[in-house]
């Protein structure tokens, strides 16, 4: 809910008042996505409800949410049906509607198809540790690693097997055998809304020790901005801190959301994301650091082959046109970077990040404004990279991880994506850089803030459940197939 409310603060006061009034009568899940409200629903009620019914479920004309279509159910096909009409039926051509209005109706149809699932999210507030989950390829249970309070954000592993986890209030935890210890001396953070201590990434090299990289919201008199430091941990103290990335104070922004921020390491390079900070137009401005994915050497120096090194440009920028990337990982075989990104109302993305490319925000998106109006007439345009996968309505993607362990052999090489608002864990299969399938392997266990492939071969998830009262770190453990089948048989009865 915080993501949505903070984001619409940049809208007009009238739009904000409308959203608050509408959201007050909605369920928590629907309010988070603002489903069924705003300009798109108003347009539908005025133009379409007389035939297709007030809830899109049908009237004198057919339902729009049963996934049965005369001329195809793709976004493009539905757009053509609205714009040009459907021959042989009473569906007229709505050529008086703008391309943006038609696009908003397409998104609305997608949202309404998912409304029942979103309503069910209200009940998704308890972890079922020990329960058996059966996915297409593996059955598993959730095993507690550490139970905590507060809003957990990121996690990674030290070479000794202990686990590091960040908490938004500024605490860095070290977890050993379920016992947690706070690391003293970590950077001061601006703990407000989406700001605080964000991601953590460990890099170990013989002779150089274990460097721990942190991202956080750095406060100044002008506001705040995402910063990156690295340091070491000795006797549970943070020492030898080095600044890796800091933004001049004059470019800090006085908002409390869209910091990003995730870290990934590929070879000798550090990648990190900085969200648009609520200034969406700056995502296309190469003289600003926000709305970008950056690439530096591990010591913070700028590589010579970075794409933008001209005057007035941030030499660290690797790609641009990003809204709020809160997941990132390097493919363990190819070293290529992948990222997940929050859209607005719909249009959440997973992207294959390439050198110097534009990922579209805010000039091309599969989502729409929170007030129910389309941002763009079409979701794509020349010169903008298409997402490898997108979700409408939103799942609010969090951390991502390629699984490379041996406990779940049929998952090896798959990309796991945490869904925060959707309370889901998605498994994406890839053919090169093409996403070929998307399976929800787990749902209803809480907000999946981060995912990690552990050195012990297990898959780890960081759950805020419900946020911020209780959180925890869990690992997925293979379940006996017979136990899984027995549970399925019991449900079938």
Q: How far is CA 300 from CA 108, 296, 471, in A?
A: 44, 5, 33
Please state the pTM of the whole predicted model. Answer: 0.88
Instruction: Give the rounded percent of residues in the chain with a pLDDT score beyond 70.
Output: 87
Answer yes or no: are the C-beta atoms of 377 and 335 closer than 8 Å. no
pLDDT classification of 90: cutoffs 50, 70, 90: confident
pLDDT classification of 16: cutoffs 50, 70, 90: very low
Q: What is the pLDDT of residue 125?
A: 60
Between residues 43 and 198, the one the model is more confident about: 198
Tens-place pLDDT, residues 412-428: 999 999 999 889 999 99
- pLDDT tops 80 at residue 333: yes
Between residues 287 and 480, the one the model is more confident about: 287
Q: What is the pLDDT of residue 484?
A: 43
Catalytic residue among 252, 258, 322, 426: 258
332: in domain: no
Give the separation between CA 143 and CA 129, rounded to whole angstroms: 6
Question: What is the rounded average pLDDT of the residues 394-399?
Answer: 94
Q: At 28, which CATH number?
A: 1.10.760.10
From the number of C-beta atoms within 10 Å of its C-beta (0-12, 13-18, 19+), residue 399 rates as buried
Q: Which of 127-141, 160-174, 313-327 has the lowest mean pLDDT?
A: 127-141
Q: What is the pLDDT of residue 158?
A: 97
Q: What is the pLDDT of residue 39?
A: 85
Q: What is the pLDDT of residue 431?
A: 96
Q: What is the pLDDT of residue 272?
A: 98
Buried b (16+ CB within 10 A) or exposed e, 60-90: eebbbbeeeeeeeeebeebbbbbeeebeeee
Tens-place pLDDT, residues 102-122: 988 988 898 888 776 666 665
Q: What is the pLDDT of residue 208?
A: 85
Answer yes or no: are the C-beta atoms of 226 and 212 closer than 8 Å. no
Q: What is the pLDDT of residue 421?
A: 87
Q: What is the pLDDT of residue 481?
A: 63
- pLDDT tops 50 at residue 491: no
- Backbone φ and ψ of 249, nearest 5°: -55, -35
Q: What is the pLDDT of residue 466?
A: 63
Instruction: Give the rounded percent of residues in the chain with a pLDDT score beyond 90.
Output: 66
- pLDDT tops 90 at residue 193: yes
Give the separation between CA 142 and CA 137, rounded to whole angstroms: 16
Q: What is the pLDDT of residue 34?
A: 60
Give the separation between CA 369 and CA 16, rounded to whole angstroms: 12
Question: What is the rounded average pLDDT of the residues 359-386?
Answer: 92
Q: What is the pLDDT of residue 6?
A: 32
Is 421 strand, coil or helix? Answer: coil
70: in domain: yes
Tens-place pLDDT, residues 212-227: 999 999 999 999 999 9
Between residues 5 and 321, the one the model is more confident about: 321
81: in domain: yes
Q: What is the pLDDT of residue 23?
A: 31
**243 φ/ψ sector (left φ>0, alpha ψ -120 to 50, else beta):** beta
- pLDDT tops 80 at residue 408: yes
Q: What is the pLDDT of residue 25?
A: 31
256: in domain: no
Domain boundaries, position 33:
2-121
- pLDDT tops 90 at residue 241: yes
- pLDDT tops 90 at residue 274: yes
310: in domain: no
pLDDT classification of 33: cutoffs 50, 70, 90: low
Tens-place pLDDT, residues 426-466: 999 999 999 999 999 999 898 999 999 999 999 999 998 76
Q: Which of 48-57, 265-274, 325-334, 337-346 has the lowest mean pLDDT?
A: 48-57
Count of domains observed in the chain: 1
Q: Name every residue whose Cβ is closer than 8 Å to that of residue 286 and which is 6 or more positions away in sequence.
A: 308, 312, 313, 314, 317, 320
52: in domain: yes
Question: What is the rounded average pLDDT of the residues 314-335?
Answer: 97
Active site residue 258: yes
């Amino acid at each position: 809910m915080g993501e949505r409310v903070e984001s619409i603060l940049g809208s007009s006061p009238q739009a904000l008042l409308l959203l608050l009034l509408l959201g007050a009568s909605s369920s928590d899940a629907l309010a988070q996505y603002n489903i069924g409200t705003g300009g798109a629903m108003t347009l539908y009620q005025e133009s379409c409800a007389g035939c297709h019914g007030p809830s899109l479920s049908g009237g004198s004309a057919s339902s729009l949410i049963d996934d049965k279509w005369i001329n195809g159910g793709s976004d493009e096909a539905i757009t053509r049906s609205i714009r040009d009409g459907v021959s042989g039926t009473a569906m007229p051509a709505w050529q008086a509607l703008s391309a943006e209005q038609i696009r908003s109706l397409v998104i609305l149809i997608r949202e309404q198809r998912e409304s029942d699932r979103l309503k069910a999210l209200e009940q998704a507030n308890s972890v079922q540790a020990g329960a058996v989950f059966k996915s297409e390829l593996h059955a598993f249970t959730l095993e507690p690693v550490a139970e905590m309070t507060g809003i957990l954000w990121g996690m990674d592993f030290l070479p000794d097997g202990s686990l590091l986890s960040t908490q938004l209030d500024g605490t860095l935890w070290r977890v050993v055998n379920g016992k947690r210890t706070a690391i003293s001396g970590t950077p001061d953070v601006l703990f407000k809304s989406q700001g605080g201590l964000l991601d953590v990434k460990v890099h170990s090299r013989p002779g150089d020790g274990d460097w721990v990289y942190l991202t956080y919201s750095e406060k100044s008199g002008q506001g705040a901005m995402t910063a990156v430091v690295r340091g070491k941990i000795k006797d549970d103290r943070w020492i030898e801190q080095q600044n890796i990335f800091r933004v001049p104070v004059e470019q800090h922004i006085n908002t409390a959301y869209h910091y990003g921020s995730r870290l990934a390491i590929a070879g000798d390079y550090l990648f990190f994301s900085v969200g648009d900070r609520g200034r969406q137009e700056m995502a296309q401005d190469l003289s600003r650091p926000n709305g970008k994915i950056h690439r530096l050497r591990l010591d913070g120096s700028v590589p010579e082959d970075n794409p933008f090194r001209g005057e007035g440009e941030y030499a660290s920028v690797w790609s641009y046109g990003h809204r709020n990337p809160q997941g990132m990982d390097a493919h363990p075989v190819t070293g290529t970077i992948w990222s997940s990104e929050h859209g607005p109302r719909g249009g959440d993305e997973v992207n294959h990040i390439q050198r110097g490319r534009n990922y579209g925000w805010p000039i091309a998106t599969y989502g729409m404004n929170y007030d129910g109006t389309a941002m763009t007439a079409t979701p794509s345009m020349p010169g903008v990279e298409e997402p490898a996968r997108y979700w409408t309505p939103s799942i609010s993607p969090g951390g991502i991880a390629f699984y490379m362990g041996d406990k779940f052999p049929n998952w090896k090489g798959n990309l796991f994506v945490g869904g925060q608002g959707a309370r889901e864990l998605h498994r994406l299969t890839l053919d090169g850089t093409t996403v070929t399938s998307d399976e929800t392997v787990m749902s209803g266990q809480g907000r999946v803030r981060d995912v990690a492939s552990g050195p012990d071969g297990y898959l780890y998830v960081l759950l805020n459940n419900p946020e911020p009262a209780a959180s925890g770190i869990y690992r997925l453990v293979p379940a006996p197939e017979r136990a899984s089948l027995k549970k399925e048989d019991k449900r079938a009865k």
